[in-house]
Structures are given as structure tokens and as C-alpha cells.
Structure 1
Amino acid sequence: MAAKPDIVTLDQLDAFDARIDARSPAEFAEDHVPGAINCPVLDNDERRIVGTLYKQRGPFEARRLGGVWVARNIARHVETLWQGQPAHWRPLVYCWRGGQRSGAFVLWLRQIGWAAAQLQGGYKAYRRWVVEQLDALPPRLGWRVLAGPTGSGKTRLLHALAAAGAQVLDLEGLARHRGSILGAWPDGQPQPSQKAFDTALVDALRRLDPAQPVWVEAESRKIGQVQLPAVLTLALQQAPRVQLEVPFAARLALVLQDYAWLGRDPQALARRLMALRGLQANDTLARWQDWALAGNLTDLFAELMTHHYDPLYRRAQARAAAPWRVLPLEGLDPAGLGRAAAELLDDAGMSGCVR
């Protein structure tokens, strides 16, 4: 049976002028369709109260109260956000499973005269589709992996490749984390939820051209608190790999630059180092915490690299296949990285790489 004209499926997602998420702010914050604007028909407290009323006194009492709030909230959204839209404006509205919340919103909008539509199955259907895409998309792409120990400039080379016109996937940018114990984003920027990371990843993967290589950094399965899909992890493990070789002094200089913000709060840095308890000797950990408190980041990061990060990387390398090529880099200045990116893109051997 065909869907009603005001109920559409996921394959029509891009055919609308706006995407309206009618769920509560808490639901929206966890994850949402890319580009959606949150216009809750019930806020967090209202949704909780209506849900409790439904369980304790039945659907009629819940709807009698909830209906007033829904009407009031929809009216406010139309007045403050959508009043200036032309008659031909086409919004798509969704809620949790394509039920009463988005249905009520669509009814109001269509009564005004806009060709509003409701997403069939709501966010729940969208989430199922995202999970399916996480399995389907990675094997279709030709991956090229940048590998190297901490401070090798993988992220900066990835950005240089993007500036040179290459396709890249910045997994750490999507995860808002560098993937190490000190890898949190500056100034307390939180990581996305796992669902929000999955959504952003699918959105990025869909934009990539399977006919062109995609450059990415080597990552472990987990980046901070979010995990890569198993299919993507396997694809990256099997992809051609460029091994970056950078002098230790240049690596340390880059790490000190990237992590300088940690020195603004020595107490917090010392607490972060406690994550290494059990992995490092107690006297080593105490020395590192003393350096953190004293603001001695040079000695601290030099030993972190030699005693923690580099041994971890060597163990990972022992399990990895031989690199497709080794790329020595004397420095990590923008000009040098630009030349390295051009060299990789111009390398005649790339065309012979097998996916």
C-alpha cells in the first residue's frame, strides 16, 4: 500500500525545505537527523508529566492535558520560527516513531497551507537505517590510511590532503577526541553520544565518491567514549597504509603545541594522568604528576611518548600488515605537509593499490 501524500519514507528525506524534530530537547540532544531543527511539542518536563499521567490515570487524562501543551507549543514555534515562510514551503516533521507528536504538528502546518509531511516510522526508522548504512557503506570505499606514532602529524597531513583536493574522513573531528588518555577536546567540549557519532559518520560516508580514494588516520576501535563500527574498523585494517616517519624532536614540538591548553589547569592534568594507574609504575606516575603540577610539559610529554604512547604504537604495529609505503618527514610545517600531500596524491603507485 502506498504511503499517504503527507507521510513519506526515508528515501524522500532530501526533498524538503526544512526538517523539524518534534521530540523533546533531551531526545534531540542525544541524536537527530542531520540539519533538523528542534521544535518540541512537549518539553522534557511536559513529556515526563504526560507519560506519568498516561500510566497512572489512562490515555484520556494524558491527552487532555498534553493536547493543551502540544497546541500551545506548536503555535509558539510557528509564530517565532516559521511565520515568514512562503506558501510553497515544504517542511518534513518527525518524532520518535512517526506518531502523535509529529502527526499533530503536520496537521497544524497543513491547515495553514504548507505542504508539510510526516516521516514514516520517525526517528526510530531513521536510526535503523543509520545502523544499516554503517555496515553497507565502508566496504564500498577505497581507503588509504595514514599511520604513525603520536605527534607524527597525521591529522595535519590529513587536512593538507583535503586542501589539495583529496577525499578525507576526519574520524577524530567527528568524535571530538584525539583518541588518547589526554585526547579530550579543549575547553570541555563534550564528545557526541554514540548515536550522534553514528549519524555524523553516515552523513560523512554518504558524501564520499566510491570512485576516488578516501584518506583517513589509523584509529583503534574506540575514540574516547565512542566506537567505530566493526565493518569500518576491518576495512581500515585491510587498507593500504602510509607509515609516517618523523624525528622525535619534531613530534614532541607538535604534541606540545597541540596539548598546550592542558597546562592551563595543572590540577586537572594531574588528575587525568591517574588513568595510567596500573599501566605505569607508581614512582613514574608520581613524577609525571609532579611535572604536570609544576607546568613542566616538555619533560612530561617527552616521557609520555617514550614510556607510554610509543610502546603502545609498536605493539600495534607488530600486529599490522606491512605498510604500502613509508613516508619520511623531516618537519611538520605547513609547507612540508603540503609537499607531502602532493607527493602522495601524485604517486603513480596509488593507482595500483587494491581496496
Structure 2
Amino acid sequence: MSSLEEINNFSQIFKDNKPLLDIRAPIEFAEGSFPGALNLPLMTNEERHQIGICYKDKGQESAIKLGHELLKGSLKEQRIGNWLDFANKHPTGALFCFRGGLRSKIAQEWIYEQSGISFPRIKGGYKAIRSFLIDEMSRIINEKKLLVLGGQTGCGKTLLLNELDNSIDLEGFANHRGSAFGNDVTPQPRQIDFENQLTVELIKKEIYNVFLIEDEGNNIGMIHMPDAIKIKARQSDIIILNASLEERLSISLKSYVIDMAQKFIALHGDFGFELYSNYWLNSLSKIQKRLGGDRYKILLKQLNLALINHQINEDLNDYLPLIESLLVDYYDPMYNYQIEQKKQRIIFRGNYEEVTSYLKES
């Protein structure tokens, strides 16, 4: 192995869960990277800016010289030390910069000179892998059969997806449940990170001939559905998951009340319940116009009652009339209209056990 080994089998990188060291500047990393990649930059944003100006005005040789002037002594030792910590913890890993060129080579050389460790870099860097993943998403989706899982809000589609190895949880990757109440306690990923993570999942699950996805619209929160999946899903067979209203109330109460409150409190401590309350109030406000003024006021009054009894008495019962009204009067009419447009593509309907058995058998 040479000290400047390059890796170009991008698919294997993700199948092997290879630890990735992203040495680009923080501003580049923030615009998107790959699942699990750790950012330990060669240059800060300001250093990169200075070197970029020098490169533009005076050329590469002057820019390299300035880089070595900026990165020397204890600063250089500190950055090499960070990389060595990563290399020692993750000996099967690899590093990358934007194009797999100068910055990657410098980092490799410094690591090798300091420690004798031959730590590989990814050929073509971030740009090459990103292009590869874009192409792979289209290729894999076009080669595989898609099945689309539909069903009324709260019927347990996500629970069922998580039981099956060949499922692709789009809402999980988008960190959003695809409705006005779909926000999670943490922000959605950037579009690029969503697409990268999704494609890595497709690569890892390419052994399956059929992928199961949930029936989604054009967007999941702020995330846009990639064209390859959107087009294929519109042509694919649909399986409908049925559930009683009682089951849907139970699932919705757990997902949107119990679990959400616990998440907010775990993340924000004493302020958690206040933020959880704001989540509900803001979500209901988003659909105020569609609900109509009178119905919104009734539901808002019920929500405030539910929040008070939840916080003071740990009593969740006052959520049930609110959730039932949202399901029956708001979400179900929209779902019924949408599924009517797709009814010719429905190939199976059943409850949780029936749909699970059907999918496992077929």
C-alpha cells in the first residue's frame, strides 16, 4: 500500500460502512456530506477564503505557498493529531476533500510523515461520489419493482415498513411525517443529505428485487421527492393498510402525543413541554384556513384543554376528541379523494397482519 492510495469502488465504501473523514472546510460540509462522515477540516472557512483569493489572483503555486504559511507549527500539529485520532479509531476508513485532489494529498502526506500510517483517500472526492450516488439512485429505482403502501393517517404504515427488510422509509430519511403535524424535534436534513442517505440505503438493499415505500406526495415537509422515485411510484402497484378508528387513535396518540412529548422533554429538559405545546399549536395553526374559522376555534379550545390536563394531571384523554376530529373530518376526506384517483393501481387491501403476511409471501 502506498502512502497515496486511492479508493474508487464507491459502492463498496457504503456497503462496508467505511468510516469517512471529510477534510473540507466547515462551510462545504454544511452544504452536504455522506452518512456518518466526520468533518475534521484541513482549513477553516476563513483560511479557505484567503487561499481561494490568492489562487484566483496569483495562481496555484502562490496559493499552496500561502497555505503552508497559514498551516504550520502547533496549528498544523493539532490538525494532524485530529486526523490521526480518527485513523487510529477507524483503521479501515478513508478521507476525502471536494475533488480528491490537492487537499486530500496534503492530508495523506502529513498523516504518513507524522505516523507512517497509509490512510487512503477517495478518488475524485465528494464531487465524484455525489455524481455516483445521483446516477445510482436512478439506476437502482429503474431496475427494481416498487410497491407503494397506502392507508389512512394513523393506520400504522411506518410501523409496518419498519418490520420489513426491503422497505425504504422515506419519511425517516426526511425526518418528517409528511403532514402539517409531521415536524420532529430536530430539523430536517438538507436536500443533498436526504438524497445521499437515501441512495446509500438503496445500495445496501440492492439484493432485494422489490422495494416497499410509503405513498407520498411531491414533498415531505421541506424535502422534495427525487424525480426517479416520484415517477416510478406513480406507475407502481398500491397496497392499502386498513385499520379501525380505534387503532388509528391509539397509534396517533402514541406517535404525536406520548412520543413527541418525551422527545421534547429529553432534548430540552424543563422547556420541553412548552416547546411540545408550541409544536401542537403551530401545527394546528397551519391548517386553520382549511379547517375554517369555527372548527379551528373548537379544536384549539380542545387542544388547550388537552395540554393543560397533560401537563398538570398527566391525563391524555382530552387529546382523543381532537385527534378523532382531525382524522375523520380533516385527513380522511383528503385521503379518500387522493386514493380514488389511484384506485386502478390497488392490488391488495387488508389489516396489519394481512398486509404483512401478503408482503412477506409475495
Does the alignment pair 1:9 with 2:12?
Answer: no
**Residue 204 of structure 1 is aligned with which of 195, 201, 205?**
201
1:142, distance to aligned residue in structure 2 (A) = 2.3
**Residue 126 of structure 2 is aligned with which of 123, 141, 156?**
123
1:7, distance to aligned residue in structure 2 (A) = 4.1
Q: Which has the higher helix share?
A: 2
Does the alignment pair 1:232 with 2:246?
Answer: no
1:158, distance to aligned residue in structure 2 (A) = 1.7
The amino acid of 2:204's aligned partner reads: R
The amino acid of 1:252's aligned partner reads: L
The amino acid of 2:357's aligned partner reads: E
Q: What CA distance in whole angstroms lies between the structure 2 residues aligned with 1:168 and 1:115? A: 38
Q: What CA distance in whole angstroms lies between the structure 2 residues aligned with 1:293 and 1:116? A: 58
Q: Is the 8 A contact 1:147 1:244 kept in 2?
A: yes
CA separation of 1:85 and 1:98: change in aligned 2, threshold 3 A: closer
Q: What CA distance in whole angstroms lies between the structure 2 residues aligned with 1:346 and 1:21? A: 39
- Aligned counterpart, 2:171: 172
Q: How does 1:127-166 map to 2 (within 5 A)?
A: 127-160=130-163, 162=164, 166=165
CA separation of 1:168 and 1:61: change in aligned 2, threshold 3 A: same
TM-score, normalising length from structure 2?
0.79
1:65, distance to aligned residue in structure 2 (A) = 4.9
- Aligned counterpart, 2:213: 216
Q: Is the 8 A contact 1:291 1:297 kept in 2?
A: yes
Q: How does 1:186-205 map to 2 (within 5 A)?
A: 188-205=185-202
Q: Is the 8 A contact 1:141 1:210 kept in 2?
A: no
- Aligned counterpart, 2:309: none
- Aligned counterpart, 2:110: 108
SS in 2 for 1:259: helix
Q: Is the 8 A contact 1:41 1:73 kept in 2?
A: no
Any idea what the Cα deviations from partners look like across 1:263-320, whole Å, max 9, x if unmatched? 6333442222222243231222233223222224222222221232112211211211
- Aligned counterpart, 2:27: 26
- Aligned counterpart, 2:43: 42
TM-score, normalising length from structure 1?
0.80
The more displaced of 129-138 and 49-58 is 49-58
Could you tell me which runs of 5 or more consecutive residues in structure 1 were left unpaired when the two chains were aligned: 330-336, 351-355
Q: What CA distance in whole angstroms lies between the structure 2 residues aligned with 1:240 and 1:318? A: 14
Any idea what the Cα deviations from partners look like across 1:240-273, whole Å, max 9, x if unmatched? 2211221112212211111105663334422222
Counting matched residue pairs gives 329
Q: What CA distance in whole angstroms lies between the structure 1 residues aligned with 2:19 and 2:147? A: 36
CA separation of 1:123 and 1:85: change in aligned 2, threshold 3 A: closer
Q: Is the 8 A contact 2:236 2:345 kept in 1?
A: no
Could you tell me which runs of 5 or more consecutive residues in structure 2 were left unpaired when the two chains were aligned: 262-272, 307-317
Q: Is the 8 A contact 2:147 2:237 kept in 1?
A: yes
SS in 1 for 2:41: coil
SS in 2 for 1:27: helix
Q: How does 1:338-353 map to 2 (within 5 A)?
A: 339-340=353-354, 343-345=357-359, 347=361, 350=362
Q: What CA distance in whole angstroms lies between the structure 1 residues aligned with 2:102 and 2:349? A: 58
- Aligned counterpart, 1:181: 180
Q: What CA distance in whole angstroms lies between the structure 1 residues aligned with 2:53 and 2:303? A: 50
The amino acid of 1:142's aligned partner reads: K
SS in 1 for 2:289: coil
The amino acid of 2:349's aligned partner reads: V
Q: Is the 8 A contact 1:41 1:69 kept in 2?
A: no
Instruction: Quote the sequence identity (%).
Output: 26
Q: What CA distance in whole angstroms lies between the structure 2 residues aligned with 1:149 and 1:224? A: 18
Q: How does 1:184-333 map to 2 (within 5 A)?
A: 184-185=183-184, 188-261=185-258, 264=273, 265-295=276-306, 296-320=318-342, 321-327=344-350, 329=351
Give the superposed CA RMSD: 3.1
